[in-house]
Amino acid sequence: MLRSCIQSYEREWECVLPALKLAYNTTSYYSTELSPFEIMTGDIPLTAADLDIVGALVPALTSPMTKPFRQLCDRAQCHVLKANWQQKDDTDAKRRAVEYKVCDKIWLSSKHLPAINDCTKFDPHYGGLFDVAERIGTVARRLAIPPTCECHNVFHV
């Protein structure tokens, strides 16, 4: 949000900070389905549009704050867990179960390896073929990588 406002108001972006703060704190997020303001205070914030509808507000007695906060935190945590499960299901749908055994030959992604040239655009996307030297746990493998390669030889598969 801040970046788009800075681009619009290059010289006077400080004057839009209060509006941005209100927008940020009242936005309901996907994982919690609550706004940060609602989680912290337990109330939905009143905006200028709400004040026109409500009119003069009468102060009310507040209930003990611990119970509503606990309920909001439990609700937010439940929504976060639900979002995590949904994200895991979406991610697992794209994955495939592959089991590499010792002596199998595999390609190694060069995405996080040191670059061969200054311009990585023309570097190969995969290096290899490398032998699987050892199985470490359920998802890690030690590869037989030549000593000239300046990287660790254990990789997550």
Which residues does 62 contact at the CB level (< 8 Å), separation at least 6?
none
Q: Rounded CA gap, 95 and 32, in Å?
A: 26
Q: Are residues 111 and 140 in the same domain?
A: yes
Domain annotation covers residue 100: no
Q: Rounded CA gap, 81 and 75, in Å?
A: 10
Answer for the pair 5, 16: CB distance below 8 angstroms, yes or no: yes
Q: Is the dihedral of CA 105, 107, 112, 117 positive or negative?
A: positive
pLDDT in tens, 45-79: 776 666 555 445 444 544 555 666 667 677 888 88
Q: Residue 35: which domain range? A: 2-94
- What spatial distance separates the first Cα and last Cα of the chain, rounded to whole Å? 37
Domain annotation covers residue 53: yes
Q: Rounded CA gap, 131 and 93, in Å?
A: 28
Regions of the chain short of the pLDDT cut 70: 1-10, 13, 47-70, 72
User: What pTM was estimated for this model as a whole?
Assistant: 0.42
Alpha-carbon torsion angle 19, 39, 31, 33, nearest 10: -80
- Count of structural domains, the chain: 2
Q: What is the pLDDT, as a whole number, of residue 55?
A: 47
